[in-house]
Amino acid sequence: MSDTEDLISSFEVRDPDLAGRLGTYTIKGKKVETPELMPVVNPNRMVRGAGVPPSELLENFGFRMIITNSYIIRRSEDINAEVLRKGIHGYLDYEGVVMTDSGTFQSYIYGGRTGGEVDVDPLEIVRYQNAIGSDVGTILDRFTVPDRDHEAAAEDLRITLDRARSSMEVNHNMELAVPIQGGRHTDLRTSSGKGVRDLGVGYAPIGGVVPLMENYEYSLLVDIIVSSKRGLGPSIPAHLFGAGHPMLLPLAVALGCDLFDSASYAKFAHDDRYMTRFRTLRIGEMLNLPCSCPVCATRGPEDILDMEKDDRAGLLSRHNLWVLREVLDEVRAAVKEGTLWEIVERSAMANPSMYSAVRRMREHTGYLEENAPRTLRRFMSSSGLSLARPEFLRLRERLSAFEPPESMKKALVLTDWTVSRSYRADRAMWKEHPEGIQPVIKTPLGAVPFDITDMYPISQSIFPPPGSLDAELESYMDSLYQPLIRRYDDVIEWDGRGDPPVAPGMNNYRDLDMRRARSILRMQFGKFGEKWADEVLFKDGGSISILTSRRTGKIRNIMETGPDGRKDHLLSMRAEDGHFNLRWLAAVRLHEASSPPLLRVEVEEGTGEFNAKGFNVFCKFVIDADKSIRAGDDVLVIGRNDELYAVGRANVSSGTMVNGRSGIAVKVRDGAVKRAG
């Protein structure tokens, strides 16, 4: 893997949510925080003094990256001469990142379904973009319309990749964007993504999708994004060409797109159309302006309609940009908070095609699971659309293999999950039931043993109350509940009202905290050979003490006192998600009980000594990692010969840390040298 110093650009990923993430794209010392949108700057409109000046896009709206068209610039004799003299940044009076397109989209506009191309040499347009000082230039790829058959689309793809290789040879001072093509054929999209990744480029647009968006084929767009990303991998920024409507942005980000471009803000404005989050309106048909941006705060529709055409278009363009800015900022905040799904689910209700697209995500839950963090701050679900979320899949798989520390023949089932976190329910389910009865909560996530209810997503989940679930969630819950009933000789249901219907003569349950700790460890780490994680960590001969919060009574730390009287810190409980942090002794025991690649992140030998001192692991030094590692997992940092350097928490998924060129892979908690010191 090349060092970032040898690259024109770098992309650092952090804070994943679903397949989306926050990131920093850096090129030539300029930074762009993603997800981000690039307003399209039309050079012909600049000549006429129309449109929003690029300097205003940066200074007033905060757009740190824009896109313009080198093909159009080159065709205009006057504009071309000035751009060659001043450079593209000087001509646009713009200090941010400038991306240029090559004319491929014009080939679609002019050539349509015939696949005709613009009159420019593919290598010459790359040289030209270098000459005018583009930060990111684009090859002249073959635009594959969606209805092109597989054979023709495959030939287009071959030509695109051949042109990319040739273009890389003449490129010398800009990042070269190589679009992913393949039409509607998902196998070709995956092959194209892999081909782009293998070229070693640092920027990948997903091309040929504008016709789909124009025809509201959003479900197919979901398939295309996922198949493209599967081939491309998580470490290269993905730009969804032509996606500039605010309604689509949350879904596209959730699927892993990082950058977008919009000409629609201006096109709509010139057609007297007014953007909102979920639709566009005709300004002449509006009663008022439902927006508080600087354009709308002191104006009504009649004020804008009274203006001259260009002035009206200028104001509407600015309003449309404010809407895009607001939606992107909300999406970024949601990714950081871990609530992106909530925005995606809301957007599904805006349009039937969007609803179908969000439903289509259920066919790609495996892809979402590979990229989503292990835990978030909360889990909110309003409908069966949420079944696309990886939490359902993960919990179902873990529960199917889960074995409580003690065998129980009966189950006491709390059927109202809305009261499960109350003190009264906790006392009734644990403190006042006869021994030999397993407490269980029936939830839309599944039938969950009460031992692990503090773990994400159970305790952090928010669902409609019983009787208010939609048919899909109700059906899913019942499908998981029936296998539970077959596990026990007897199942006693209780709705949380009154006293539980169990026999008198109740005793306090012994060693409740230890049982909970063991159950959480089994759910979190699973088995190591024939032994569960708790059996590996709680060794014979040591005395285990569990420290709890005085305020909540919940587990906080687990200590071990050895035969020699030495006290060691074994585990710490994370209050936000109910998972354990491994301390050094626990890491050593899990390392000894397992073999690579389980739980492991392998680093270069020259950097392992720094990790052993407590320094974080960076992606560019990761050689390999357990493919099951997700952001938020506790991991073991090892060297080539499986020597244990450190233990910490994964910052990104295994795919990102192995293929990433920059950014933190593991936040180290304890290191071998640090511990010895």
pLDDT in tens, 474-486: 999 999 988 877 8
- Position 3 scores a pLDDT of 41
Question: Is the per-residue pLDDT at 49 higher than 70?
Answer: no
Contacts of residue 434, Cβ cutoff 8 Å, sequence gap at least 6: 502, 503, 505, 506, 507
Average pLDDT over residues 11-17: 95
- Position 326 scores a pLDDT of 96
Contact 375, 577 (CB under 8 A): yes
Q: Could you give the CA distance from residue 250 to residue 222 in angstroms, rounded to a whole number?
A: 12
User: Strand pairing partners for 138?
Assistant: 177
Q: Could you give the CA distance from residue 223 to residue 474 in angstroms, rounded to a whole number?
A: 27
Total residues found in the chain within this entry? 677
DSSP reduced 3-state for 251: helix
Average pLDDT over residues 30-45: 94
Residue 120 or 654, more confident? 654
Q: Which helix (H) or strand (E) holds 153?
A: helix 150-170
Query: Which tens digit of pLDDT belongs to each residue from 333-366?
Result: 999 999 999 999 999 999 999 999 999 999 999 9
Question: Is the per-residue pLDDT at 644 higher than 50?
Answer: yes
Q: What is the spatial order of strands in the sheet that 30-34 belongs to? A: 9-17, 20-27, 30-34
Q: Could you give the CA distance from residue 475 to residue 471 in angstroms, rounded to a whole number?
A: 6
DSSP reduced 3-state for 505: coil
Average pLDDT over residues 583-600: 97
Question: Is the per-residue pLDDT at 113 higher than 60?
Answer: no
Q: And the tokens for 440?
A: 């269980």
Q: And the tokens for 611?
A: 């990790």
479 HSE (CA, 13 A, CB side): 9
Contact 591, 636 (CB under 8 A): yes
223 HSE (CA, 13 A, CB side): 15
pTM exceeding 0.85:
yes
Q: E strands of 56-149, at which residues?
A: 65-69, 97-101, 136-138
Residue 666 or 417, more confident? 666
How buried is residue 200: exposed, middle or buried, by Cβ count under 10 Å (0-12/13-18/19+)? exposed
Q: And the tokens for 14?
A: 């952090």
Average pLDDT over residues 386-407: 88
Average pLDDT over residues 462-474: 94
Contacts of residue 269, Cβ cutoff 8 Å, sequence gap at least 6: 312, 313, 314, 315, 316, 317, 319, 320
Question: Is the per-residue pLDDT at 425 higher than 80?
Answer: no
**Would you please indicate which residues are annotated as catalytic (active-site) residues?**
101
Question: Is the per-residue pLDDT at 329 higher than 60?
Answer: yes
Type of residue numbered 41 = V
Q: Could you give the CA distance from residue 497 to residue 415 in angstroms, rounded to a whole number?
A: 10
Neighbouring C-beta atoms of residue 625, cutoff 10 Å: 28
Average pLDDT over residues 497-526: 76
- The per-residue b/e assignment along 100-126, b for 16 or more CB within 10 angstroms, e otherwise, is bbbbbbbbbeeeeeebebbebebbebb
Q: Which of 591, 577, 663 shows the shortest CA–CA distance to 622?
A: 663
Give yes or no for a cis peptide into 504 (omega within 30° of 0): no
Share of the chain above pLDDT 90, in %: 77
Calculate the alpha carbon distances from 311 to 50, 57, 293, 302, 303 in Å. Answer: 8, 17, 17, 14, 11
Question: Is the per-residue pLDDT at 508 higher than 50?
Answer: no
Return the ∠ at Cα 603 (arms to 599 and 605), rounded to 5°.
Answer: 135
Average pLDDT over residues 6-27: 93
- Position 283 scores a pLDDT of 95
Calculate the alpha carbon distances from 550 to 125, 426, 554 in Å. Answer: 69, 16, 8
How buried is residue 1: exposed, middle or buried, by Cβ count under 10 Å (0-12/13-18/19+)? middle
Q: What is the mean pLDDT of the chain?
A: 91
Position 438 confidence tier, pLDDT thresholds 50, 70, 90: confident
Q: Could you give the CA distance from residue 639 to residue 645 in angstroms, rounded to a whole number?
A: 7
Helices (H), 377-470: 390-401, 423-426
Position 2 confidence tier, pLDDT thresholds 50, 70, 90: very low
- Position 391 scores a pLDDT of 97
CA dihedral defined by 640, 642, 645, 649, rounded to 10 degrees? 100
Return the ∠ at Cα 446 (arms to 444 and 450), rounded to 5°.
Answer: 110
Q: Which long-range contacts (CB under 8 A, 24 or more apart) does 472-477 make?
A: 472/383, 472/384, 472/387, 473/381, 473/383, 473/384, 473/386, 473/387, 473/444, 476/384, 476/387, 476/392, 476/444, 477/442, 477/443, 477/444, 477/446
Contacts of residue 471, Cβ cutoff 8 Å, sequence gap at least 6: 384
Question: Is the per-residue pLDDT at 677 higher than 50?
Answer: yes
Contact 253, 243 (CB under 8 A): no
Position 182 confidence tier, pLDDT thresholds 50, 70, 90: very high
Q: Cα-flanking dihedrals φ and ψ of residue 293, to 5°?
A: -70, 170
Question: Is the per-residue pLDDT at 673 higher than 90?
Answer: no
Q: Could you give the CA distance from residue 183 to residue 151 in angstroms, rounded to a whole number?
A: 11
Rama region for 490: left / alpha / beta (φ>0; ψ in -120 to 50; rest): beta
- Position 56 scores a pLDDT of 96
Type of residue numbered 557 = N
| CA-only gyration radius of the chain, Å | 28
Q: Which of 11, 16, 3 shows the shortest CA–CA distance to 177?
A: 11
Q: And the tokens for 90?
A: 């000087």
Sign of CA dihedral 101, 102, 105, 110: positive
- Range name among 29-43, 110-124, 216-230, 409-423 with the lowest pLDDT average: 110-124
Question: Is the per-residue pLDDT at 507 higher than 90?
Answer: no
Q: Which helix (H) or strand (E) holds 446?
A: strand 446-449
Average pLDDT over residues 273-293: 94
Q: Could you give the CA distance from residue 484 to residue 396 in angstroms, rounded to a whole number?
A: 12
Question: Is the per-residue pLDDT at 404 higher than 90?
Answer: no
Type of residue numbered 170 = V
Question: Is the per-residue pLDDT at 519 higher than 60?
Answer: yes
